[in-house]
Structure 1
Amino acid sequence: MRQWVLGLCVVVVATLALLGWHYWAPQESAQGRPPQVQNVHVVTPQLQRVEDRIRAVGTLSAREEITVTSEVNGRVVALNYRTGQAVAAGALLVQLDDRQARADLQVVEARLEDARRQLRRAQQLRSSNSVSQSRVDELRTAVDVAAAERNAAAVRVSNHRIEAPFAGVVGLRDLSPGAYVESGDPLTTLDAIDPMELRFSVPERYLGQLREGLALQAESSAWPDRVFNGVLAELDTRIDPLSRSLRVRALIDNDEQLLRSGQFMSVQLTLRAREALVIPEQAVLLRADEQYLFVVQGEQAERRTVQLGAREPGFVEVASGLAAEDQVIVTAQDRLSSGDRIQILPGLENAIPPNRLQAEESAP
């Protein structure tokens, strides 16, 4: 029995010794080795122009647009426009038959002239007390009434001339000389198309950055290779409670008359431009809500927590946590810890191209 217990103790001691060697011998050997050096590539942050932009979609409309109608009934005697023709303000578009209106005007003018003649004669007789003052006043009133009737008849004559109220482009021509039109009938359209008006919405959180005169660029699928420039012209006074956005209007250059009212366009509105540090996006690591990177500190890597801003494919703005003279590690940083020894390899010192960074957000 004693021999069996003694043998069991020997086995236990041998097992413990073997386990101790497996756990302790390799660690002591590793502690005796010098720390490993990690090969890395680095870049220097570049100071570049960064822009915050909003991307939205909107609908074009003419700055001024009307449907041309007639105020009176009449027969068309002349059409002085072609479809798509540019006309000046006051240009005659449609002439209706105004012979009856002119005849009525002549009758009223004759009455006015007769009333004036009677008033002059009465005023002469009044000097010799041959006519009472009440008769002179009566004739003066008759002159005023005749003058008012003459003005009304002149307006009826002018209503047969349908003129352009502003400069613009005339729409489709659906009439022919001799056609009879009634009051209110649509004759054609008139649009002031340079500049055009683009309407879209901007999220309310950008309200503090919006102001009239901000530059923007618009694109249309009808002209995929063209960019149309414009400026923010008007801001609504109310925010939509459903979409939490502000309606705005922009003026888009249309000197070549390529754009049409009702056209759909996408727009990029530049809110704010600034100079900021830009680095390759691959240098940034994420852990939970923290964004960090590694910079060179002597011969070691130092971990830095940073705040990022605008992005574009491959590059990102560093808003805080980085200085212009820092060297940012862009390779092997996922295997680094703060304080690790590093060796810098050549080849990526000028990896950031000199372009502008844009932060874009889609608006409703």
Structure 2
Amino acid sequence: MKKWFVIMVIIALLAFGTVIGFNWFVQQKTKEAIANMPEAVYPVTAITLQSVNWQPTIDAIGFIEPNQGVTISNEVSGIVTSIDFENGAQVMQGNMLVQLDSEVQKANLKAKQVQLPALKADYERLLRLYKQKSVSQQDLDNAESRYMAMQADISSLEATIDQREIEAPFSGSLGIRSINLGQYLQVGTEIVRLEDTSSMKLRFTIPQTQLSRIAVGQPVHIYVDAYPDEVFEGQIAAIEPAVFYQSGLIQVQARIPNAHGKLRSGMFAKAAIVLPEMTNQLVVPQTAINFALYGNSVYIIEETNKEGKTEKRVKQVNVDVVERNGNNALVTGEIKAGDQVVTSGLVRLSNNSLVKITEDNALKLPASMPTL
């Protein structure tokens, strides 16, 4: 029994020893393979930094508004007897747009106007008699009050008739009418939209921290989706005197010439307030920046000599991103003009990584964007 037990122990030790020895052999061979493996060379793209001029802007978004715009409606109720405009027509201030039925008011006006001369003559006759001490002051006052009351009635009727003749309050473009001939209109019925689009306005907000950088008359570039390749030039026309305390934003209004009529009210627009140009600045593509919670950095390529061979290795340098504009970013830090900065392939890099500069057209913007 003891002999059998000793034999089993020896067999187990031999089995475990074989496994351990094999694993040790594999590890040694792996270490030798890694030690003899050539250092990885990472392909990257790079640009050489140059000092350029940078045009800083303050970006905002807003909606286009007309110079003047109003929805025409009626002050009094009545039946539409005349529509004196065409949909989409250009009108001048004072042009007749819509007339409501006013026959009853005109008849009453005519009746009052017929009575006015007699009341006037009666008042003037009593005035002469009063001067001659032939009538009392009360008789004269009664005649004067009847005469003035009739004048007031006539003025009231004329104003009522004017309210039934709806005119354009300013020159501009009409929209599509919402009424029909013979329709009975309640007070305040929307008739048609009238807008003065000779110049447009853009209302937007900016943070109060940017208030010191803007002023009335400052140029503004406006971009709208309807004309993606066109920049509309405007100027700051007004700045709200108060900051909205709940958000810390201040409202700004820009005026935009619209001689060609391309801009329409309600358009979503992007605004870029143009600030004084900055010279001798360093600008890199945003793809070259490694954004991280502990700070932003870029990789600079440096050439080193090793055993008579020239190698390109990267050095990670911290930078501050001052502003962004499209794919570019204005940066400051321990970089200078002439440095080669990695623009793509950053994910696999670390300090002192060996790199190879390659050509890559993936980051180049196409001449035209594909459409669905």
TM-score of the superposed pair, with normalisation by structure 1: 0.65
Give the 3 Å change call, closer, same or farther, for CA 280–67 of structure 1 in structure 2. closer
- 1:266-345 equivalences under 5 Å are 266-270=270-274, 272-279=275-282, 281=284, 316=330, 328-331=337-340
The structure 1 segments of at least 4 consecutive aligned residues displaced by more than 4 Å after TM superposition are 41-46, 279-286, 288-292, 305-318, 331-335
- Report the counterpart of residue 123 of structure 1 in structure 2: 127
Distance in 1 (alpha carbons) for counterparts of 2:82 and 2:296: 76
The one-letter amino acid paired with 1:217 is: H
Per-residue Cα deviation, 1:241-286 (whole angstroms, up to 9, x for no partner): 343211222222222222222221112111x213521346499999
CA 1:180–1:291 in structure 2 vs 1: closer, same or farther (change >3 Å)?
closer
Structure 1 CA distance for aligned equivalents of residues 127 and 56 of structure 2: 80
Residue pairs, 1:42-61, within 5 angstroms: 45=51, 48=53, 50-61=54-65
Amino acid of the structure 1 residue aligned with 2:85: Y
- The structural deviation recorded for 1:207 is 0.9
| Contact 2:123–2:140 under 8 Å retained in 1 | yes
1:211 to 211, 215, 220: 215
- The 1:200–1:328 alpha-carbon spacing in structure 2 relative to 1, beyond 3 Å, is closer
Tell me the equivalent position of 2:116: 112
Maintained 8 Å contact 1:307/1:321: no
Higher alpha-carbon deviation: 59-68 or 145-154: 59-68
SS of 1:157 mapped into structure 2: helix
- 1:278 touches 1:315 (CA, 8 Å); kept in 2? no
The answer as to 2:201 corresponding to 1:192 is: no
CA gap of 1:42–1:99, structure 2 versus 1, over 3 A, is closer
1:54/1:112 CA distance change after superposition, 3 Å: same
Structure-2 change in CA distance of 1:145 and 1:221 (3 Å): same
1:306–1:144 Cα change, 3 Å: same
Residues 125 and 131, structure 1, Cα contact 8 Å, conserved in 2:
yes
Structure 1: how far apart are the matches of 2:137 and 2:328? 97
Amino acid at match of 1:330: D
Say whether residues 1:240 and 2:244 are aligned partners: yes
Native 8 Å contact 2:321 2:329 kept in 1: no
Q: Please list, as runs of the form range in 1=range in 2, the aligned pairs for 1:1-364 lying within 5 A after superposition.
A: 45=51, 48=53, 50-270=54-274, 272-279=275-282, 281=284, 316=330, 328-331=337-340
Judged with a 3 Å threshold, the aligned counterparts in structure 2 of structure 1 residues 128 and 315 are, in CA distance, closer, same or farther, namely closer
Tell me, yes or no, if the aligned pair for 1:108 and 1:153 is still in contact at 8 Å.
no
Alpha-carbon distance in 2 for matches of 1:183, 1:266: 39
- Aligned positions, number: 277
**Matches of 2:73 and 2:131, distance apart in 1:** 54
Structure 1 segments unaligned to the other structure (5+ residues): 1-40, 295-304, 336-364
| Whole-angstrom CA distance in 2 between matches of 1:182 and 1:285 | 65
Once the 2 structures are TM-superposed, how far is the Cα of residue 128 of structure 1 from its aligned partner? 3.0
Paired-residue identity, %: 24
Q: The residue matched to 2:260 in structure 1 has which SS?
A: coil
Distance 1:101 1:232, change over 3 A: same
Q: CA deviation at 1:58?
A: 0.9
Which consecutive residues of structure 2, in runs of 5 or more, have no partner in the other structure?
Answer: 1-46, 301-317, 343-350, 353-372
Q: Which has the higher contact order (CA 8 A, sep 6+)?
A: 1
Indicate the residue corresponding to 2:27 in structure 1.
none
**For residue 267 of structure 1, what is the amino acid of its counterpart?**
A
* Alpha-carbon RMSD: 3.5
Following superposition, the deviation at residue 158 of structure 1 comes to 0.7
AA aligned to 1:277 is N
